[in-house]
């Protein structure tokens, strides 16, 4: 099942949280405005067969101002990857049907510049994954570290 916000080509229409008034001073306010505006237009695809992880990640990212599509179905994820352009993809390594590496390869074919992170609880990850992925996120992971990786790469 896919749950998607209204992610069109013009962005998703999400209005990020407004920063506290004391941050909106002088030239800093211009910088903050552009930072928040650019985040609102970043499209992220989250794919995890664990619906609670998928929902939690998607909610967290939406709260941070990102436009998020999520699914627990790898076949649906393959369709989304072929049909849409994403700024960042987060794929679970172990999925029912297609695995995270297969989705990674499809994403890189459809959109070579899209950063893809593989999320895994496994200690031993295939070396081909390490070469193709933009990063490996080990479960359990710290939310702050995940957000920082997305900010750094997107």
CATH homologous superfamily of domain 43-153? Response regulator (3.40.50.2300)
CA 117-118-124 angle, to 5 degrees, is: 140
Separation between Cα atoms, residue 44 and residue 148, nearest integer Å:
14
Stated pTM of the model = 0.74
Torsion angles phi and psi, residue 9, rounded to 5: -70, -20
- Dump the DSSP string for 24-75: --HHHHHHHHHHHHHHHT-EEEEE-SSHHHHHHHHHHHHHTT-EEEEES-HH
| 1-51 pLDDT per residue, tens | 444 444 554 445 444 444 444 444 445 555 455 555 455 568 999 999 999
Q: What is the mean pLDDT of the chain?
A: 78
What CA–CA distance (Å, rounded) separates 88 from 117? 8
For the chain, the structural domain boundaries read 43-153
pLDDT of 96 above 80: yes
């Amino acid at each position: 099942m896919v749950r998607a916000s209204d992610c069109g080509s013009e962005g998703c229409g999400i209005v990020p949280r407004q920063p506290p008034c004391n941050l909106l001073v002088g030239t800093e306010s211009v910088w903050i405005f552009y930072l928040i505006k650019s985040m609102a237009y970043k499209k992220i695809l989250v794919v995890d067969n664990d619906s609670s992880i998928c929902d939690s990640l998607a909610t967290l990212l939406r709260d941070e101002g990102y436009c998020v599509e999520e699914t627990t179905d790898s076949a649906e994820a393959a369709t989304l990857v072929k049909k849409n352009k994403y700024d960042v993809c987060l794929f679970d390594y172990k999925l029912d049907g297609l695995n995270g590496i297969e989705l990674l390869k499809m994403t890189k074919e459809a959109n070579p510049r899209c950063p893809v992170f593989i999320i895994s609880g496994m200690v031993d990850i295939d070396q081909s994954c390490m070469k193709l992925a933009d990063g490996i996120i080990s479960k359990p992971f710290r939310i702050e570290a995940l957000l920082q990786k997305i900010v750094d790469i997107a």
